[in-house]
Amino acid sequence: MWPHMAEFFDQTADGEPGLALFLNAGDPPLDVLRDLVLMLDEDGVDCLELAVPFPGSVTDGPVIRRSHDRALALGVGLAEVLSFIADVRPRLKRLRIALLADWSYSVKSRPLPEVVAEIAQSGADGLLLHAVPPRVRTGYYEVTKAAGLPIVTTCYHKVSTAQVQAEAVEHASAYLYLVAQYGRSGTAPAEGFGDLAGTVSSLRKGTRAPIAVGFGVKTRDDVSTVHGLGADAVIVGSAGVARVEEALAHGRDVVAEFQDFVKSLTTVEQRS
């Protein structure tokens, strides 16, 4: 078993699902983000999917695309994000950081072993590398395994072929991200999450890694529904990023606003 697999989501005795929250590094600015990350740790959140911002994402909706743009305008790139993780990670008691980076924008211009080594050395607990070309995947799996860096694999409900699902199951070592529907982030399945149970069950047969469901998860009811279908964890992105955007636009305390959002998804008392 990989070093972090068993602990990536803390399955506590209260039966609560694991919780991962997505944010772009640089939105809010890194000094504010540091306080926000420390708050997430204190409030018992399991995982932060921390993205290296990149332009023109075809899989993201308008909320997250605007977030990318705000972070890029501040000059935040891979080097700045890794420095941020190296600074904050030793201060965390519980929260794990899964770095999300885009292959074309952040990685492909350099030797993959070199980049993976830097990510591992930063203290990131896992890596989700977005849009890895098929020709690169075997090498990617080998390099991350050699570096001892757990990875997040992805597949889509209903859309991914059996081969794609099998590959995701085989190589998931941080967690397996099951995308609830094909489309852009922030959109929930029109028919709801109810028919995810079969996909979760099928994936479960092949992996010991946690299965986390994202895309369209916005409320406490969504969290409960997805967990009830067998997922170990939920991933919340656009709804939280929208709270950051609103706080920044109105000059409000981003950390306090985001803390209120987290409390709307789960209670501190249950997760402490």
Dist. CA 243–CA 1, nearest whole Å: 37
Number of alpha carbons in the 13 Å side-chain half-sphere of residue 138: 1
Q: Which tokens go with 194?
A: 């109810």
Assess whether 27 carries a catalytic annotation.
no
Assess whether 49 carries a catalytic annotation.
yes
For residues 180-209, b (16+ Cβ closer than 10 Å) or e, as one string?
Answer: bbebbbbebbeeebeebeebbeebbeebeb
68, 48, 29: which is closest to 233 by C-alpha?
48
Q: Which tokens go with 124?
A: 């990131």
Dist. CA 221–CA 231, nearest whole Å: 14
Exactly one of 16, 46, 49, 245 is catalytic; name it.
Answer: 49
Dist. CA 20–CA 210, nearest whole Å: 12
Q: Which tokens go with 6?
A: 């068993």
Q: Which tokens go with 246?
A: 């609103």
- Alpha-carbon distance values, 114 to 110, 119, 120, 140 (Å): 7, 9, 10, 12
Exactly one of 16, 41, 60, 232 is catalytic; name it.
Answer: 60
Active-site residue numbers?
A: 49, 60
